[in-house]
Amino acid sequence: MNIPDIQSPSVASSFDVQRIRASFPNLHREVHGNPLVYLDNAATAQKPQLVIDRLNRYYSRENSNVHRGVHTLSQEATDAYEGARERIRAFINASSNHEVIYTRGTTEAINLVASTFGRKHLSAGDEILISTMEHHSNIVPWQMLCEEKGATLRVIPISKAGEIEYDAFLSMLSERTKIVAICHISNTLGTINPLDRMIADAHRYGATVVVDGAQAVPHMRVDVQALDVDFYCFSSHKMFGPTGIGILYGKESLLEAMPPYQGGGDMIDTVSFEKTTYNTLPHKFEAGTPHIAGGIGLGAAVEYMESIGLETIAEYERDLLAYGTEQLRSIEGVRIIGTASQKASVLSFLIGDIHPYDTGTILDRLGIAVRTGHHCTQPLMDHWGLPGTARASLAFYNTREDIDALVAGIRKVKTFFE
Amino acid sequence: MVNGQEAAIIEEFALFDDWMGRYEHLIELGKDLPLIDPDMQDDTHRIRGCQSQVWLHAFEENGKVFFKANSDAAITKGLIALLVRVLSGQAPQAIIDAPLGFLDQIEMKEHLSPTRKNGLDAMIKQMKLYAVAFKQITH
């Protein structure tokens, strides 16, 4: 009897990547006469037409200031802007809109927490834990805070593969630990950190956990309630939305108890020269006219990602990353930096002794966009004694053909420099 | 144009009809760069660039300025070799006034952008600053 070759319904069959690619106009341009192969998604992602159109519609048809006017345009702009906030709330499963604060991006979100929560709760002798793999934006704000308060910044070590040394992390936790600031996914290594465990362990010592989620949100379902995370920060532009806008999620009880960040319009309740009282959440942290179009555009990006499905995205990218890893490993002399067992999106690599700048320059001539350098993780590069790496980072619109082009490009780079 | 070197470089690069040939030639030229003493590859001589490191040393002899340099990236090293070839052995004023238009003509101008972060833009500034300094001394 013939047994039919039955395959389980895979993502590959339900996910039409060519249809997806058709929605991203910038993917179809040429660079130096070659079709663009865009592999710099960890730096910023391309924008689908739906997001571009939404920005266009806002400026053409709805432009008006929010939260102020009684007139129709202002009402419409406010509805759109606050509607986007609701969509983002649902996207990360926050329990209330009050917990979703618009910021300029991940960097500002982390700075906001350091400047308000950090200043209020940190004293001399306290400790903040970060990891070796943090982006500068999750190092410097804490360094500044520690200098101001006489607190200590301690760095959780990582293994050769680029994973948190978990026993070391546990041994560093104590009653002195006030804040644990950690990335969900490393922008340089692609490591997915074990947030569930880390947050639970940090909470046992009463520490507050701040997560840099910039690299996670574009690639996987993030549920802030399931994680029980205290603060979670991310950027719109890495998740197919406009630049200049991002989100700080914070637990309502924590946000309520925090002083405001910046003073100005929109964040106030009443103002007199003697005393100002502050607006309620989330507006308490949103001084001045916000990036209205950005918020609305981010809402559209979230809608777009949800229409594909975060689980579908994660599964497709997992397959693509596995293919990319296997292909890069097959090239003699290529070393992948960051080999954690749980990874997403990122392929950081070195080719023999070839400088990443040289690699990136030749790949660019071939139309292949990768990032080269230290990826704003200088301490991590110093830790391993590397001048930097070349980094290919994937999104759901990338294909196996993109990986093949990268592999051909790397072979070309080798002929130049070896 | 500072001297015949610029014209020679333009002529050399014109022999290649694609970017690959030009880049291969550039990388070859990097191998002829008068190298800075390895002991001088320190922070004092380092040009601050984001990605590739560049070290530069200058000295004066009989009213002319000479340069030695190095970089850890081959393309950057080739570009520096071009600059050194054109500017080394010139009088300070000639270095100060050099427009370095040849980089445009050999289609390497993209590397001159300050945002390119290879230290080359900073390198030219530093070479001209040396020339200014030596001009003060010799006067």
Q: What is the pLDDT of residue A395?
A: 98
Of chain A residues 337-366, which have a CB less than 8 A from chain B? 354-358, 361-362, 365
Is the same domain home to A165 and A260?
yes
User: How many CB atoms are closer than 10 A to CB A257?
Assistant: 12
Residues of B marked active site are found at: 50
Name the strand (E) or helix (H) holding B65: strand B64-71
Is the same domain home to A269 and A408?
no
**Interatomic CA distance for residues A9 and A353, integer angstroms:** 43
- Residue A198 Cα distances to A126, A170, A173, A202, A205, angstroms: 19, 9, 10, 6, 11
Q: What is the pLDDT of residue B114?
A: 64
In the three-class reduction of DSSP (H, G, I as helix; E, B as strand; rest coil), residue B40 is classed as helix
Chain B residues inside the 8 Å CB shell of A388: 51
- Which residues lie closer than 8 Å to B16 by C-beta, 6 or more apart? B22, B24, B25
Q: What is the pLDDT of residue A59?
A: 97
Residues B71-98 have a mean pLDDT of: 94
**Interatomic CA distance for residues A175 and A35, integer angstroms:** 55
**A4 inside domain:** no
Cis previous bond, A194, omega within 30: no
Q: Identify the domain boundary among A277, A307, A337.
A: A307
Percent of chain B with pLDDT over 70: 91
Is the same domain home to A296 and A407?
no
**CATH code (residue A323):** 3.90.1150.10
**A2 inside domain:** no
- Which residues lie closer than 8 Å to A118 by C-beta, 6 or more apart? A141, A142, A145, A149, A179
**A350 inside domain:** yes
Is the same domain home to A27 and A100?
no
Long-range contacts of range A59-62, CB-CB < 8 Å, 24 or more positions apart?
A59/A293
Of chain B residues 47-86, which have a CB less than 8 A from chain A? 50-53, 72-76
Residue A50 carries which DSSP code?
Answer: H
Q: What is the pLDDT of residue B104?
A: 85
Residues A17-32 have a mean pLDDT of: 97
Alpha helices in A180-332 (DSSP H): 195-204, 224-227, 252-257, 292-308, 310-329
- Residue A139's pLDDT band (boundaries 50, 70, 90)? very high
**A6 inside domain:** no
Question: What is the Cα A392 distance to its own chain's centre?
Answer: 16
The helix/strand count (H/E) of chain B reads as 6, 3
Closest chain A C-alpha to B72 CA, distance in angstroms = 7
- Residue A396's pLDDT band (boundaries 50, 70, 90)? very high
Residue A407 carries which DSSP code?
Answer: H
CB-closest option in B23, B72, B118 to A387: B72
Query: What number of residues does chain A have?
Result: 418
Give Dmax (Cα) for chain B.
46
B74 contacts A417? CB cut-off 8 A: yes
Round the average pLDDT of chain A to a whole number and report it: 95
Q: Identify the domain boundary among A279, A307, A335.
A: A307
ipTM above 0.95, yes or no: no
Chain A residues inside the 8 Å CB shell of B23: 361-362, 365, 416
Residue closest to A376 by CA, chosen among A107, A67, A7, A191: A107
A416 contacts B24? CB cut-off 8 A: yes
A32 touches chain B (CB under 8 A): yes
Q: Could you give the number of structural domains in chain A?
A: 2
Is the same domain home to A347 and A299?
no
Name the strand (E) or helix (H) holding B93: helix B92-97
- Is the pLDDT score of A116 beyond 50? yes
- Is the pLDDT score of B138 beyond 90? no
Percent of chain A with pLDDT over 70: 97
Is the same domain home to A104 and A208?
yes
Asked if residue A101 lies in contact with residue A255, where contact means CB atoms within 8 angstroms, the answer is yes
Q: What is the pLDDT of residue A5?
A: 46
* Beta-bridge partners for A346: A393
Pair of tokens at residue A175: 């009653």
Strand A177-183 and strand A208-212: pairing? parallel
B24 touches chain A (CB under 8 A): yes
Is the same domain home to A229 and A320?
no
pLDDT tens-digit profile of A64-89?
A: 999 877 899 999 999 999 999 999 99
In the three-class reduction of DSSP (H, G, I as helix; E, B as strand; rest coil), residue A177 is classed as strand
**CATH code (residue B68):** 3.90.1010.10
B27 contacts A357? CB cut-off 8 A: no
Q: What are phi and psi of A42, to 5 degrees?
A: -70, -25
Asked if residue B55 lies in contact with residue B77, where contact means CB atoms within 8 angstroms, the answer is no
Q: Which residue has the higher pLDDT, A47 or B4?
A: A47
Of the listed ranges A63-77, A176-190, A402-416, the one predicted with least confidence: A63-77
Is the same domain home to A364 and A272?
no
Asked if residue A101 lies in contact with residue A127, where contact means CB atoms within 8 angstroms, the answer is no
Range of the domain at A15: 11-39+309-417
Told to judge if A376 belongs to the known catalytic residues of this protein, a careful annotator would answer yes
Q: What is the pLDDT of residue A93?
A: 98
**Interatomic CA distance for residues A199 and A201, integer angstroms:** 5
B118 touches chain A (CB under 8 A): yes
Burial zone of A10 (CB within 10 Å; 0-12 exposed, 13-18 middle, 19+ buried): exposed
Is the same domain home to A337 and A268?
no
pLDDT tens-digit profile of B33-81?
A: 999 999 999 999 998 765 788 899 999 999 999 999 999 999 999 999 9
Q: Which residues of A223-253 are buried (b: 16+ CB within 10 A; e: fewer)?
A: ebeebebbbbbbbbbbbbbbbbbbbbbbbee
Query: What number of residues does chain B have?
Result: 139
| Residue of B51, B77, B111, B116 to mutate, interface with A, max A Cβ within 10 Å | B51
Q: What is the pLDDT of residue B103?
A: 85
CB-closest option in B23, B117, B118 to A416: B23
Range of the domain at B124: 4-138
Give Dmax (Cα) for chain A.
90
pLDDT tens-digit profile of A81-113?
A: 999 999 999 999 999 999 999 999 999 999 999
Helices B19-30 and A400-417 meet at what angle, rounded to 10? 40
**CATH code (residue A144):** 3.40.640.10
- Is the pLDDT score of A2 beyond 70? no
Chain B residues inside the 8 Å CB shell of A373: 50-51, 117
Q: Could you give the number of structural domains in chain B?
A: 1
Asked if residue A228 lies in contact with residue A201, where contact means CB atoms within 8 angstroms, the answer is no
Is the same domain home to A359 and A401?
yes
**A83 inside domain:** yes
Is the same domain home to A134 and A194?
yes
Q: Which residue has the higher pLDDT, A132 or B116?
A: A132
Q: Identify the domain boundary among A246, A274, A307.
A: A307
**A1 inside domain:** no
Chain A residues inside the 8 Å CB shell of B117: 373
Is the same domain home to A60 and A188?
yes
